[in-house]
Amino acid sequence: MTFQEGGSFEGGRVGTRRGVGGKGIAIGGGGIGAVLVTLLVMFLANQTGTDPNQLLNPGGVGGAAQEDVVGDCTVEQANTDRQCRLSATIQSLDAVWAGTLTGADAGQPAVWSFEGSTSTGCGNATSAVGPFYCPTDQSIYLDLGFFDQLTSQLGATGGPLAEEYVVAHEYGHHIQQVTGVMDRADRGGTGAESDSVRVELQADCYAGVWAGNAATTVDPDTGVTFLEPITQDELATALDAASAVGDDRIQAGSGGGVNPETWTHGSSAQRQKWFMVGYDAKKAAACDTFGTDDL
């Protein structure tokens, strides 16, 4: 159980899509733009070795997608059902960021839970890209099947807070979009000191900010705090997930050598470190990954 007893979550915040996405949406600059956006927004650093061009293509096969929304969820459902957990997590993220972000309006990203493939403002995407945020349409896209991959392929322990960390990381990219970080950063480069890595570590830190506030932030709809206090065991599962998606671990796991020059997301140790910086500080201001030499 992670969501607090007495809570409940209205439907409609998260959309669902099944089937082939609509016609691909061309983005400025065509293919190369899509590749850059892919590299930028992908939660995972290309762990499958797949060419991003094949994963996120502007212009694709047409076809009607079945759209719906995640409906009302009880707290029991939020604690057991992935769609409900996603909906409840997003609503807690909305509230935490509305209450903690200063200097910018956090707004609310659109959230799509899809199966297989979907059209997005960044082109057509398949599940293979992993969860991602598209700045163009300010939307989070994820196939909940990723959480099985997180445990089966990436070796994470998994669990509710591990899944919520992933969602909170993507929401962190939305915060970066509304604060201008996404536009200011040079997101095309790679390497341990690159802006790309700094963007990703900051999103991890923002995920920590959410986790640090989620047990004390009250749901305005119910008057109940979102999460129960996070236990050390639960915290360990989130850190374990952050470690599982570290560039060094993914590179080592894929059989190749560890090469920091190609990093886009940061090492396992760095991702854990920045999650904890946000978790402990509970404030976005602590997440200054661009202003430090000590990533």
Beta-strand pair 117-120/123-126: antiparallel
Stretch touching Zn ion by CB under 5 A, among 55-63, 86-94, 195-203, 287-295: 195-203
Whichever of 135 and 212 has its CB closer to Zn ion, that residue is 135
Minimum separation from the CB atom of position 203 to Zn ion (A)? 5
Stretch touching Zn ion by CB under 5 A, among 23-31, 95-103, 141-149, 201-209: 201-209
Minimum separation from the CB atom of position 91 to Zn ion (A)? 21
**Residue whose entry in the numeric block shows the structure tokens 């993220």:** 93
The gap between the terminal CA atoms of the chain, to the nearest Å, is 33
Minimum separation from the CB atom of position 278 to Zn ion (A)? 14
Minimum separation from the CB atom of position 204 to Zn ion (A)? 8
Stretch touching Zn ion by CB under 5 A, among 6-14, 62-70, 197-205, 277-285: 197-205
Stretch touching Zn ion by CB under 5 A, among 62-70, 196-204, 237-245, 280-288: 196-204
Helices 160-179/82-100 angle, 10° precision? 40
Amino acid present at 209 = V
CA 235 – CA 21 distance, rounded (Å): 36
Minimum separation from the CB atom of position 162 to Zn ion (A)? 15
Pair 197, 263: CB distance under 8 Å: yes
Whichever of 21 and 130 has its CB closer to Zn ion, that residue is 130
Taking residue 50's Cβ as centre, other Cβ atoms within 10 Å add up to: 12
Instruction: Report helix, strand or coil for 149.
Output: helix
Instruction: Report helix, strand or coil for 98.
Output: helix
Total number of residues that touch Zn ion (CB under 5 A): 3
**Could you tell me which residues come within 8 angstroms of residue 108 by beta carbon, excluding any fewer than 6 positions away?**
94
Minimum separation from the CB atom of position 27 to Zn ion (A)? 18
Whichever of 84 and 284 has its CB closer to Zn ion, that residue is 284
Q: How far is CA 1 from CA 80, 217, 225, 266, 279, in A?
A: 8, 17, 14, 31, 20
Whichever of 153 and 222 has its CB closer to Zn ion, that residue is 153
Whichever of 84 and 238 has its CB closer to Zn ion, that residue is 238
Stretch touching Zn ion by CB under 5 A, among 43-51, 121-129, 208-216, 239-247: 43-51
Residues contributing to the site for Zn ion (CB under 5 A): 43, 200, 203
